[in-house]
Amino acid sequence: QREGRGRRCMEPAQPWRGEARPLQAAPSRYESQKRRDWNTFVQYLRNHKPPLVLSRCSGAHVIEFLRYLDQFGKTKVHVPRCAFYGHPSPPGPCACPLRQAWGSLDALIGRLRAAYEESGGSPDTNPFAARAIRIFLHDVREIQAKARGIPYEKKKRKHAAAAGQGRAGGKPSSSTAFSGDSSDSGTGGGPGDSLLGSFTS
């Protein structure tokens, strides 16, 4: 009996044979970015002076947020008095400010608009779908096109194919129907990349 008891003690541990649990699929890049953008916007509201609550957030507050993001921009936008204004390939550096590219802002608004409704917000009160934001994005697009010498009209044909893919994927940009091309023409990241740098939580 002692020998049998010793053999049992020396037997290797058997693998656990309990019920297998299905592995949760990792969130897509789009979903991860949407969550980071949403958390950042909520943090921005908390840090706002005075603090803002989401239920009282309007399109004007969203535009204020977009302007705030310009400090993280990587796209050179020439001012009218700059010698390189309207030059698509400036031959040298200049002191013009860096801004968020229009395409990146457009994609950001699309993600935040979806996140707002997924968080329980009503489409009727969605501040990211306000007409004022569509007008703001349209103006930013026109200003950047003139300043950088890159007419967006030349990209309409390319955008038509991209828009079809976007509809198939169920993730259209915020102002596709309003203003045409939503590609990012900046020198920084594309529309899917984070705009917020270390500010994201």
Domain ranges of the chain: 29-172
Q: What is the mean pLDDT of residues 4-14?
A: 53
- The CA–CA distances, whole Å, from 193 to 52, 90, 139, 155 equal 26, 25, 22, 21
What pLDDT, in 10s, does the model give residues 21-52? 556 677 899 999 999 999 999 999 999 999 89
Helix (H/G/I), strand (E/B), else coil: 158? helix
Q: Which amino acid is at 80?
A: P
pLDDT at site 25: 72
pLDDT at site 175: 41
Q: What is the C-alpha radius of gyration for the chain, rounded to an integer number of angstroms?
A: 24
Helix (H) or strand (E) holding 98: strand 98-99
pLDDT at site 111: 97
| Structure confidence at residue 59 as a pLDDT band (50, 70, 90) | very high
Could you tell me the pTM of the whole model?
0.67
Q: Which amino acid is at 63?
A: I
Q: Which region among 27-41, 73-87, 89-103, 185-199 has the lowest average model confidence (pLDDT)?
A: 185-199
